A = this chain, B = another copy of it.
Amino acid sequence: MVQSTRQIVLAARPEGMAKDSDFRLVEATIPAPNEGEVLIRVIWLSVDPYMRGRISDLASYAEPIPIGGVIVGDTVGEVMESRDPSSKAGDIVESYLGWQSHGVAKARALRKLDPRQAPVSTALGVLGMPGLTAYHGLIEVGRPRPGETVFVSGAAGAVGSAVGQIARIAGCRAVGSAGGPAKARHLTADLGFDAAFDYRAETDLRAALARTCPDGIDVYFDNVGGPITDAVLHHINLRARVVICGQIAGYNQRGKEMGPRNLWQLIVKRARIEGMLVSDFADKGEAARGYLTQWLHDGRLKYREDVVEGLENAPAAFRRLFTGENLGKQLVRVGPDPG
């Protein structure tokens, strides 16, 4: 049996913000699964800032997607047909099928989800890569101690919102910046951040940091880069740790982005800046997911999802990450829940 799938492929390498014309929706066929493989119908697709790197051809930690290639992405779907004893039709699984409606995957590359534990979409957000990124980045790289101040940029995003809440769980004061008054309010009113500000409304970011972090910043979890990071480096405490998780402010920049040189501040404060990728912590992933699940059940870890309907709207959903329109985890609904 040959299965048809709708796919979004890379039509052109974007200049700056990715346009609809940089993508193309195609109809393709995929062969029936071989021994050890399963056929999956995608329900949820995750769009994440890292994908901007994959559709560019600049050197990075992963190979770029070729022109004509399906855009990569984490997915949650339903097993339609299994040729492996570990899976059966009807299983809900996480797999990395990318921007398409159906796909064939190795059974051993799947992670089976239990819908009774949590809504399965959380496998792409708070209990998935973004949640694990927050946990490992904050705990393993940032190493917060109770009583310290943790500041997070992009705090209303999938990663940032988890960072602030985990910081609170770790006994820290959590402060965040986000774009727009609704997001800033969400951080304090809904997620329990101790303070937050709308960076777009601040004329002096250093003053905003002084106001919201009166004891300075011990751990800075950076999702954004650019001017907010420049300002934070003037407000860190002795032996501060800066976790570079993302630099989304620069992902759509053409050419070289310039900023003030401020590594001198690292001597003044004997501070550390370190870049991290969640995949480096794979061996600790299950333990971290256990904590996150427990906190979710305890009500100590909250999350928001922002859903765009339809695979054909994945490019628009992806752009929301850069315009900042999304509040919480940006998802694309590709197909209906199992019925």
A residues near B (Cβ < 8 Å) are 59-61, 222, 225-226, 229, 244-247, 250, 256-261, 263-277, 280
Contacts and interface: CB of A to CB of B under 8 A. Distances in A.
Given A258-B259, A258-B260, A260-B258, A275 B271 contact: yes
Task: Count copies of this chain in the complex.
Answer: 2
A276 B250 CA distance: 28
Given A258-B260, A261-B226, A275 B280 contact: no
A244 B263 contact: yes
Contact of A267 (B264, B270, B277): B277
A274 B225 CA distance: 18
A270 B276 contact: yes
Contacts of A271: 274-275
A72 to B, nearest CB: 17
Contact of A266 (B244, B260, B280): B244
Contacts of A276: 267, 270
- Ranked 8 nearest A-B pairs via Cβ: A266-B275, A267-B275, A272-B274, A259-B261, A273-B273, A257-B261, A247-B264, A256-B260
A271 B273 CA distance: 8
A263 B222 contact: yes
27 contacts: A60-B268, A61-B267, A225-B261, A225-B264, A244-B266, A244-B267, A245-B267, A250-B261, A257-B261, A258-B259, A258-B260, A259-B259, A259-B260, A264-B275, A265-B275, A268-B275, A269-B275, A270-B274, A270-B275, A270-B276, A271-B274, A272-B272, A272-B273, A272-B274, A272-B275, A273-B273, A273-B274
Given A258-B258, A268-B61, A273 B263 contact: yes
Contacts of A263: 222, 225, 229, 244, 247, 273, 275
Nearest to A270: B275
Nearest to A272: B274
A95 B275 CA distance: 41
Contacts of A268: 59-61, 275
A127 to B, nearest CB: 23
Nearest to A247: B264
A34 to B, nearest CB: 34
B280 A270 contact: yes
Contacts of A61: 267-269
A222 B267 CA distance: 11
Contacts of A267: 61, 244-247, 275-277
